[in-house]
């Protein structure tokens, strides 16, 4: 199996025995991302809004390493340290992801590493080749894509 690990260039190694993300063919699996500033090694912000932005930024950075962006995310799992933060989290989430939004699960947890308020893992698929193929076949006709 030809797995390609994806890393933050500024990060020396993962905090655990896992890759921040792994690409296998057209599939990208992103490990749970914390709101870390990987250059400074600290939490990026104190509020749920700041931390949500930082987490989604980290996901976007890993996708960029795979040549993708947030539009290719199909599914996320969100871990909130305080489920009362859902509305504030959701507002930022809806600003940064575009409709149609990824499928998502939101889970309340008692604590997260580094005292973070949020962690998100994601699954993305690279559909660019399919999009090009369909565009060539459709040539302006309604293909349903």
Digit-coded pLDDT (tens) for 1-24:
576 665 656 554 455 666 788 888
Q: Measure the CA–CA gap between 34 and 30, rounded to whole angstroms.
A: 11
Question: Quick check: 56 and 30 in contact, CB under 8 A?
Answer: no
- Decide the pairing of beta strands 42-43 and 73-80: unpaired
**How high is the pLDDT of residue 9?**
62
**How high is the pLDDT of residue 79?**
98
Q: Measure the CA–CA gap between 83 and 107, rounded to whole angstroms.
A: 8
**How high is the pLDDT of residue 125?**
94
Phi, psi of 49 (to 5 degrees): -65, -50
**How high is the pLDDT of residue 142?**
54
Phi, psi of 14 (to 5 degrees): -70, 150
* Tens of pLDDT, residues 107-117: 999 999 999 99
Q: Measure the CA–CA gap between 49 and 47, rounded to whole angstroms.
A: 5
- Sheet (strand 73-80) strand order: 4-6, 21-24, 27-33, 118-125, 73-80, 103-108
Q: Which residues of the chain have pLDDT under 70?
A: 1, 3-18, 136-145
Structure pTM? 0.83
């Amino acid at each position: 199996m030809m797995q390609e690990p994806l890393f933050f260039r500024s990060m020396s190694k993962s905090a655990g025995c896992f890759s921040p993300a792994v690409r296998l063919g057209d599939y990208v699996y992103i490990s749970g991302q914390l709101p870390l500033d990987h250059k400074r090694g600290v939490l990026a912000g104190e509020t749920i809004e700041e931390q949500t932005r930082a987490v989604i930024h980290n996901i976007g950075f890993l996708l960029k390493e795979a040549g993708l962006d947030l539009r290719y995310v199909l599914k996320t799992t969100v871990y909130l340290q305080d489920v009362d933060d859902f509305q504030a989290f959701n507002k930022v989430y809806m600003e940064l992801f575009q409709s149609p939004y990824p499928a998502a699960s939101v889970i309340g947890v008692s604590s997260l590493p580094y005292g973070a308020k949020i962690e998100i893992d994601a699954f993305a698929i690279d559909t660019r080749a399919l999009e090009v193929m369909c565009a060539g076949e459709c040539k302006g006709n309604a293909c349903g894509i």
